[in-house]
């Protein structure tokens, strides 16, 4: 090699043939088509004969299914739960933490997640990581981030620098502005207790109406949506009436509050896997009190999710656990989708909850979430049909981001030239 060594490619060109296309618009796969990718984006969808004419690089997928890359709406690259595993992460220096998060981003991309929404990260490292990925310095998914979540003094997550303690309406307004100043794409509030707080309960309300109103109105004035860590129905109802855009977890929804969410267009990221994560907790040495609280909340959590489905609430994929974690025979993100399907979401709707619907919530549906002309060529390839059963995503063959192949288990992209 002579000359300068380039950064990682962030845009590529290719023609994909021999595929069944799940474009994120039509619920059923379509055959007999080809994708033409130019400068990282879908240029056109056409016939194979037309696509290969003059093409420099043709990848034959041999009948596999192609769908948009997964969008994980609840991710923490700097997650540190109570216990020995979390203590290791909490003890990392800023430099070590950045490298740790970069490795998590790489593994997340290889698991088929091409876009993430980070909902509380330590030390501002998420902003640096976002820039590094965009520049091609390190591999990883596209990042939308809330920066630090806002909590009350002693509130959920207060004991890490992935949160910012605020008290009173003025302080919450300033907190929102501080995260916007840092580069946040959205704002996250901790409005109740949760699983990981030793001295609280899931049902503990933690923000006043005035604090929530100030944060939500300030964020909206700055063009940012607001999501909230939330468990109990009453505090969720109050926040929804104030304009909350999304609920994380929603452990204890009622049919009435679910209907209120649907009426206001408030989405739900259920993170069902977090109350079914015994093996993950064992891996991290999570203490017994947290395991008992989490696993004990599982049945009510699933009932809450079903209330949301019955009410027509838009549900979005989010794992909370590291998306790539080796968990129950697959990755955590796929296991979450399997729980969503098992809980009553039809497979085509589960695919939409992992692709087009999150892109729309992020305001990025002109860029992401569907395999249609003009969108980024972020996609995954599986031998089975995920619109029949999302378990097909356990067998990823190929992952592409921006037209660049980042994973190729079958070697289909090697030597793929016309």
pLDDT digits (tens, 9 = 90+) for 82-139: 999 999 999 999 999 999 999 999 999 999 999 999 999 999 999 999 999 999 999 9
User: What domain range is 397 assigned to?
Assistant: 14-69+370-408
According to the model, what pLDDT value does residue 158 have? 87
Kindly tell me the number of DSSP H helices and DSSP E strands found in the chain: 14, 18
CATH number of the CATH domain containing 105: 3.20.20.140
Phi, psi dihedrals of residue 11, rounded to the nearest 5°: -140, 140
- Tell me the sheet residues that pair with 407: 399
Whether residue 128 is found in the same domain as residue 232: yes
According to the model, what pLDDT value does residue 1 have? 52
What is d(CA 345, CA 357) in angstroms, rounded to the nearest whole number? 14
Whether residue 135 is found in the same domain as residue 242: yes
pLDDT digits (tens, 9 = 90+) for 186-224: 999 999 998 877 788 888 999 999 999 999 999 999 999
pTM score of the predicted model = 0.96
Which residues in the chain land under pLDDT 50?
Answer: none
Whether residue 34 is found in the same domain as residue 147: no
Residue pair 102/138 in contact (Cβ under 8 Å)? The answer is yes
Strands 14-21 and 58-68: what pairing?
A: parallel
Whether residue 40 is found in the same domain as residue 181: no
Whether residue 55 is found in the same domain as residue 189: no
Whether residue 293 is found in the same domain as residue 184: yes
* Lookup: tokens for 223: 């063009």
According to the model, what pLDDT value does residue 2 have? 61
What is d(CA 250, CA 228) in angstroms, rounded to the nearest whole number? 9
According to the model, what pLDDT value does residue 416 have? 67
Whether residue 172 is found in the same domain as residue 216: yes
According to the model, what pLDDT value does residue 335 have? 98
């Amino acid at each position: 090699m002579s000359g300068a060594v380039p950064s990682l490619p962030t845009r590529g060109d290719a023609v994909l043939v021999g595929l069944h296309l799940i474009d994120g618009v039509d619920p059923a796969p379509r055959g007999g088509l080809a994708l033409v990718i130019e400068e990282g984006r879908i240029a056109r969808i056409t016939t194979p004969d037309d696509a290969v004419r003059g093409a420099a690089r043709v990848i034959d997928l041999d009948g596999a299914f192609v769908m948009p890359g997964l969008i994980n709406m609840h991710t923490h690259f700097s997650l540190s739960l109570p216990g020995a595993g979390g203590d290791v992460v909490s003890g990392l220096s800023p430099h070590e933490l950045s490298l740790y998060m970069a490795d998590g981003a790489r593994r997340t991309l290889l698991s088929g997640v091409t876009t993430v929404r980070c909902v509380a990260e330590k030390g501002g490292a998420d902003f640096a990581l976002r820039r590094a990925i965009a520049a091609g310095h390190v591999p990883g998914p596209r990042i939308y981030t809330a920066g630090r979540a806002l909590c009350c003094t002693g509130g959920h997550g207060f004991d890490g620098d992935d949160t910012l303690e605020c008290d009173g309406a003025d302080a919450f307004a300033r907190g929102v502005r501080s995260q916007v100043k840092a580069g946040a794409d959205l704002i996250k509030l901790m409005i109740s207790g949760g699983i990981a707080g030793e001295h609280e309960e899931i049902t503990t309300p933690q923000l006043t109406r005035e604090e929530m109103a100030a944060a939500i109105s300030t964020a909206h004035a700055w063009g940012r949506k607001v999501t909230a860590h939330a468990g109990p129905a009453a505090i969720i109802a109050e926040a929804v009436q104030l304009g909350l855009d999304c609920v994380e977890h929603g452990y204890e929804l009622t049919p009435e509050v679910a209907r209120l969410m649907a009426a206001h267009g408030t989405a739900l990221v259920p993170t069902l896997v977090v109350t079914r994560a015994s093996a993950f907790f064992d891996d991290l040495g999570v203490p017994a009190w947290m395991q008992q609280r989490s696993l004990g909340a599982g049945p009510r959590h699933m009932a809450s999710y079903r209330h949301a489905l019955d009410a027509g609430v838009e549900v979005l994929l989010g794992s909370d656990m590291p998306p790539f974690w080796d968990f129950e025979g697959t990755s955590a993100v796929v296991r979450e989708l399997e729980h969503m399907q098992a809980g009553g979401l039809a497979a085509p709707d589960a695919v939409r909850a992992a692709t087009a619907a999150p892109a729309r919530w992020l305001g990025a549906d002109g860029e992401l979430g569907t395999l249609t002309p003009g969108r980024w060529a972020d996609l995954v390839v599986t031998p089975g049909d995920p619109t029949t059963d999302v378990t097909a995503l356990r067998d990823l063959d190929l992952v592409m981001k921006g037209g660049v192949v980042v994973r190729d288990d079958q070697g289909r992209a090697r030597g793929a030239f016309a």
